[in-house]
Amino acid sequence: MAKILVADDDRDVRELSIFTLRFAGHEVLGASNGEEAINQAKVNNPDLILMDVRMPKMNGYDACKVLKSDPNTSSIPIIFFSARGQESEVQAGLNVGAVDYIHKPISPDQLTEKVKFHLQKAKK
């Protein structure tokens, strides 16, 4: 299956997301902040990144900008994953290059389906 990076500073959310995606058959890596997400993405070249917006050291928007400006990581689909879902925040996420914006909380089945959809879309 796919290699997925989950970046979220909330350990419980990160671990639950990792567990859910591993159970679905994916290889899953974790990061606890934006800087770590960038480093993991550059080293491991994931097929998809699931990223929280509000994280320490570097927020998700800034991390997404860095990844999208690097030719080695620019094609990796990034899905923002946040408890904050005001339209302006969703639009800001899409404007910096994300392919989707998921509102927390999300059920494991919904998470798996969203990831599957974007992985298939990225392969086309």
Residue 92's domain spans which residues? 3-123
* pTM of the complete model: 0.95
DSSP 3-state assignment of 79?
strand
pLDDT in tens, 27-39: 999 999 999 999 9
CA 114 to chain centre: 11
For residue 64, what is the domain's CATH number? 3.40.50.2300
Cα–Cα dist 101/85, whole Å: 8
pLDDT in tens, 7-20: 999 999 999 999 99
Token readout for 36 is: 């770590």
What residue type is assigned to position 70 of the chain? D
User: How many structural domains does the chain have?
Assistant: 1
Is residue 124 pLDDT above 80, yes or no?
no
